[in-house]
Amino acid sequence: MPDDNNFYKEIIDHLYDGVYFVDRERMITYWNKGAEHITGYDASQVIGHSCRDNLLNHITASGEQLCKGHCPLAACMEDGEPHEADVFLHHADGHRVPVLVRAAPLRDGGGTIIGAVETFSGDQGLMSVRSELRQLRRSVQTDQLTEVGNRLLLEGRIRAAIEELKHHTGTTVGLLFIDIDHFKQCNDAYGHEVGDKVLRMVAATLQHNLRKSDVIGRWGGDEFLAILYDVESVDNLRHVSDKLRTLVEYSRLDLPAISLTVMVSVGATLLFPADTIESVINRADGLLYQSKRNGRNQVTVG
């Protein structure tokens, strides 16, 4: 940190958050009082050392060591964008401290990246609030019965996919509209509690047999939508659709008096840059009902 910035240094020194600066080689050049308080390391112990020396030994909840690899500091100096992560740092006394880390590039007057600044907060209340916000965000976009995405999530993903298609001509995205055949008769015959179990069974079958990059959600009632990214061709779209249809057909809900199976009809289509949510849903819905009219338990692609 330049000597002529003593005014700002004094302000930063009195922040509760930890703040430190590194140069392009990730050598620590400044370490504030907040960093001393949270980590237990005095400035004299860390200034002049590289963060790659693994002094703080940041790890993730899964045990991944960030300081020896691609940490937020290195990432922000590579792409010029801020990065953040929830990590656990090593305290001077030996224990682990959960912190929220934020890293941002430092530039000279000409805009060249000359280093980075990292801030970290050990405030447990803040960490708890962030965790609660993440859980709330997930719950708002999750169907409570089936635990797959809900209509809000699906609409957002479809809208984002259409925008992506407008700007990247090589992108291909497929949409599957999936409806359980004769679901009303199932509810009438076995009751809504069994009907709910059927919905959960179908949702789980669809979710576990799509790629992690794809999206499955409940559109409403007994209707599900799947969004498939990087679809190679219409034939590939048909293949995935028929695989899912077959796997649902051969799923089984074992009840005290009966083993219950259901089937689904599918309408499958590709998204286009000129689409809207309404147009692509209407197109997939029309293809779905072709499957219904043609005998159910089948796929129609268009």
Which residues are identified as catalytic? Answer: 222
Nearest-CA neighbor of 160 among 136, 133, 141, 135? 141
Cβ neighbours for 269, distance < 8 A, ≥ 6 positions apart: 174, 175, 237, 280, 283, 284, 287, 301, 302
Which alpha helices (H) appear in the chain, and where do they start and end? 6-13, 33-39, 43-46, 72-79, 124-140, 151-167, 183-190, 192-208, 234-249, 277-293
Q: Which two tokens stand for residue 140?
A: 């708002």
Per the CB < 8 A criterion, the answer to whether 215 and 227 are in contact is yes
**How far apart, in Å, do the first and last CA atoms of the chain sit?**
61
